[in-house]
Amino acid sequence: MLTWRAVRREPHQVAAYILEASLPHAARVQQVDLSRVAVIGTSCSGKTTLARRLAACLDSRCVELDALHWDAGWTPRSDFEQQVRLVIDQPAWIIDGNYSSVRHIIWRRATAVVWLDYAFARIFSQAVRRTARRVLSHEHLYGNNRETIRGTLFDMEAPLWLVVRTYRRRRREFQAMISRPEYQHLTVIRAISPQAAETFLAGLTRERDRKDSPRHVTRWKS
């Protein structure tokens, strides 16, 4: 059984929520607004996969920031922020990505943040498997780009290097940001393991099947 444990966020003393496995069942139920959700986490944490599953569960639009940001030849699009603003003006969406240049406008509009805060070993192993799959299959990515062996080894912006370079920094950044006054309207859902994320999604699926409207879902709180 998985529950939602309240955690103090300094300095404003606002509760965040950590998803943990094997905690006792909690009886008190509240509501969480998942109309507009930002899915965050370090590189290769599984943001896109979870965002797509969450969007399917909520019958919402899923938007990958990488797809809006990259053009052919791994060239950043000049209209990136404009495209993001067009998305967030909509009444419902699930957005995944970590671009700091647009994070503030996304978070101000969002109703919730789902933070995949997994252990470094877990994320690095996911990064290795994903990179190997993409390189070997010549998978086409955003902007019709591909990951290559050369890029993987020598480009410091390649996913494997990003995991190594940014894992600790992004954890500090996210923790600091959710404490800022302008983001106190957000419900912060922090999944500390893939098992916790799975239980979260399973709970939403049950809630969707039980209710006519899936956007306001049950939150278990200890």
Average pLDDT over residues 125-148: 79
Residue 123 tokens read as: 């994320």
Q: Which amino acid is at 221?
A: K
Q: Report yes or no on whether pTM surpasses 0.75.
A: yes
Q: What angle is formed at CA 31 by the lines to CA 62 and CA 181, rounded to 5 degrees?
A: 75
Instruction: Tell me whether the omega of the peptide bond preceding residue 11 falls within 30 degrees of 0, making it cis.
Output: yes
Give the tens place of pLDDT for each residue, 10-65. Answer: 333 333 455 544 333 332 334 678 999 999 998 888 999 999 999 999 999 999 99
Taking domain 3-221, whether its CATH number is 3.30.450.20 is answered by no
- Give the pLDDT band (50/70/90) at residue 214: low
Output phi, psi for 201, to 5 deg: -65, -40
